[in-house]
Amino acid sequence: MSNLNIVPLKDWGFDFKRPVIISGPCSCETEEQMTETAQRLADKGIDVLRAGIWKPRTRPGMFEGIGKEGLSWLVNAGKMIGKPTTVEVATGQHVQEALEAGVDILWIGARTTVNPFSVQEVADALRGVDIPVLVKNPINPDLQLWLGSMERLNAVGITRLGAIHRGFSSYEKSKYRNKPMWELPVEMRRLYPQMPIIVDPSHICGSRELIPSVSQKALDLDFDGLMIESHRDPDNAWSDAAQQVTPERLGEIISSLIVRQSHLDNYAENKLEALRAQIDRIDNYMLEIMSERMDIARKIGEFKRDNGITILQTNRWDEIIQDRIKKAAKKELTEDFVKDMMEAIHQESIRHQTKIMNNILAE
């Protein structure tokens, strides 16, 4: 693991209180739209005003952002309500224009993070510049690629670094636009406890109805803030209309959030330690059971080897999955969890059986 030099959020030079709320329209469309949205957001508890100026779109012909002209609209709107501003940059030219306009914080989008060449171009443009930079996770669930972007920025002197978790693309059907896969930002937090992590419910959800629950989940996991898109007229937004909320709705969402404490008093600590001890005992028991299961898998592997049977038996595997899902539902375990767990066990069984097969072939 690299040793990133990261300045804690409290030392970024802004009057931030947790959770930090970043909000504004997905896209800056007109000066009037930017100004009105900012005015209506002014008293809703936001800390940073955002807007997309350059929009990387999936297909040509879609609205790709207003461009450089919108930077002054964003910066002026921020000054009007007394809030710092942030914008996405994807090229060295974007960086130069955003810095010249006086934008306070930059962020790198998921489509840029996935390409090390693009991140390096942005990093080179920032060499010697002292400005906070937030990095969205890459489209695909690759923690090393995410960290690699941080390392490139750190190498040119950017120390006010933060991560934005916006979920990950998946071919599997889901109620989310981008699957949260919370385990990745959690691992990021484990590796770098001092790194600010902002969650982007708008892009995770893709639907404004899901934003409150994902926002609360982010705070329950002790992340540092939220980036929620807000537009004066979401249904008629020029991009990502379904995932934006009105400033008034944003205020309601923020007001409804429960901010829990991460530090415990002695009573709570002792109570949790007792429960955690139970978890530890169960985990140890589970490991013993898994070891026994793999002993049986190896015996099955020996039988298959001696009788010329292939390792993978798809009919048997399908029966196992359906049976375990049905039983797990009665125990309030989700289908996704059971599938993931059984798939991991199955792969480990295949690994043991393959080793047995390979050993006999090598003799």
- The pLDDT tens digits for 325-352 are 999 999 999 998 999 999 999 999 999 9
Q: Rounded distance, CA 252 to CA 110, Å?
A: 28
- Which of 75-84, 301-310, 337-346, 353-362 holds the top average pLDDT? 75-84
Q: What is the pLDDT of residues 70-91, one digit of tens each?
A: 999 999 999 999 999 999 999 9
pLDDT score of 362 more than 50: no
Based on the domain organization, do 249 and 311 belong to the same domain? no
Query: Can you give the pLDDT at residue 1?
Result: 52
Residue that is last in its domain, among 211, 226, 256: 256
- Let me know if residue 261 belongs to a domain: no
Contact assessment for residue 189 and residue 197, using Cβ atoms and an 8 Å cutoff: yes
Q: What is the CATH number of the domain that holds 80?
A: 3.20.20.70
Based on the domain organization, do 132 and 175 belong to the same domain? yes
- Let me know if residue 2 belongs to a domain: no
Q: Rounded distance, CA 284 to CA 124, Å?
A: 49
Q: Please state the domain count of the chain.
A: 2
Q: What is the CATH number of the domain that holds 301?
A: 1.20.59.10
Residue that is last in its domain, among 223, 256, 289: 256
- Let me know if residue 1 belongs to a domain: no
Poorest-pLDDT segment among 10-24, 85-99, 312-326, 348-362: 348-362
Q: Which runs of E-coded beta strand occur in 25-118? A: 48-50, 85-88, 105-108
Instruction: Tell me the pLDDT band of 261, cut-offs 50, 70 and 90.
Output: confident
Query: Can you give the pLDDT at residue 232?
Result: 97
- Let me know if residue 308 belongs to a domain: yes
- Let me know if residue 4 belongs to a domain: no
For 324, residues 6+ apart whose C-beta sits below 8 A from its C-beta are: 338, 342
pLDDT score of 219 more than 70: yes
pLDDT score of 363 more than 70: no
Query: Can you give the pLDDT at residue 360?
Result: 53
Based on the domain organization, do 150 and 226 belong to the same domain? yes
pLDDT score of 167 more than 60: yes
Based on the domain organization, do 105 and 242 belong to the same domain? yes
Residue that is last in its domain, among 214, 236, 256: 256
Based on the domain organization, do 222 and 336 belong to the same domain? no
Residue-number span of the structural domain to which 344 is assigned: 266-362
